[in-house]
Amino acid sequence: MIVLSGTIGAGKTSLTTMLADHLGSKALYESVDDNPILPLFYENPKRYGFLLQNYFLNKRLDNIYDAQDSPLNIIDRSIYEDQLLFQLNADMERATQTEADIYSDLLDNMMEQVDHSEHALQKNPGLLIYISVSFETMLKRIQKRGRNFEQIDHDPALYDYYQQLNQRYAAWFDQYDRSPKLKIDGDQYDFVEDPKAAKAVLTMVDEQLRQLGLLV
């Protein structure tokens, strides 16, 4: 499977849709608009953070199972990113370190269970695509998509959270070694608004997939 990664507002969902249409494969999306816990988390991170991460963990595991029928199926967020997100919440005292440690152990145990499943499952992607955007672009995208609970005007403390998140994603991608990976500069290639940029990004992905033997 192909898995997208990147911070809030990077364009993961848009690129997932574009790639699925381009490759004739299945797109599997993160549960956001129909997520009953996400707005509660933004109102009270300390109370709902651990619950939210477990909700996402369950949904992402479902996506991995659902993506097994084709190496070109696309998931719009990696299951391994959640550890980064929840550790940031713990470091910023939006969750406890005990909760972060329990979540990390739970993730490891679930991935181990996938390894020992009676059905052969590919838990790691054939390719991870990271969309890198600047902090300024990230803020503009968050404002543009208009989810009230994500807005800095709604909660000024989110400014520091978003800034830390953007910085940590770059370090996370540098250290990521579970699969081949591709970095796309989301500032240089605004594939959502610019058709030429979209074509260039699709070409980059095609070339990488051919090198990996995933696309003939």
Tens of each residue's pLDDT in the chain, 216 residues: 999 999 998 999 999 999 999 999 999 998 777 889 998 998 999 999 999 999 999 999 999 999 999 999 999 999 999 999 999 999 999 999 999 999 999 999 988 887 666 666 788 999 999 999 999 999 999 998 888 888 998 889 899 999 999 999 999 999 999 999 999 999 999 999 999 999 999 999 999 999 999 998
DSSP 8-state class, residue 150: G
Residue range 2-211 in CATH 3.40.50.300: yes
76 tagged catalytic = yes
Query: Could you count the other beta carbons within 10 Å of the beta carbon of residue 215?
Result: 15
Long-range CB contacts (within 8 A, 24+) of 111-116? 111/79, 114/61, 114/64
Binding residues: 6-14, 30, 42, 53, 77, 82, 141-145, 150
Binding residues for substrate: 30, 42, 53, 77, 82, 150
Binding residues for ATP: 6-14, 141-145
Residues facing 27 on adjacent strands: 74
The single residue of 33, 62, 76, 115 carrying the catalytic annotation is 76
**What is the residue extent of each domain of the chain?**
2-211
Query: Residue 12 in contact with residue 191, Cβ under 8 Å?
Result: no
Contacts of 23 (CB under 8 A, 6+ apart): 72, 74, 215
What are the distances in angstroms from CA 132 to CA 46, 62, 83, 174, 181?
A: 28, 26, 18, 12, 13
Lookup result for tokens 């939006």: 94
Lookup result for tokens 């499977």: 1
18 vs 13: CA distance, rounded Å: 9
196 vs 163: CA distance, rounded Å: 29
Residues facing 127 on adjacent strands: 2
Q: Which of 79, 73, 65 is nearest to 119 (CA)?
A: 65
* pLDDT in the model for residue 114: 76
| pTM greater than 0.85 | yes
- Pair of tokens at residue 81: 């990113």
* pLDDT in the model for residue 33: 77
Tell me how far the alpha carbon of residue 209 is from its chain's centroid: 20
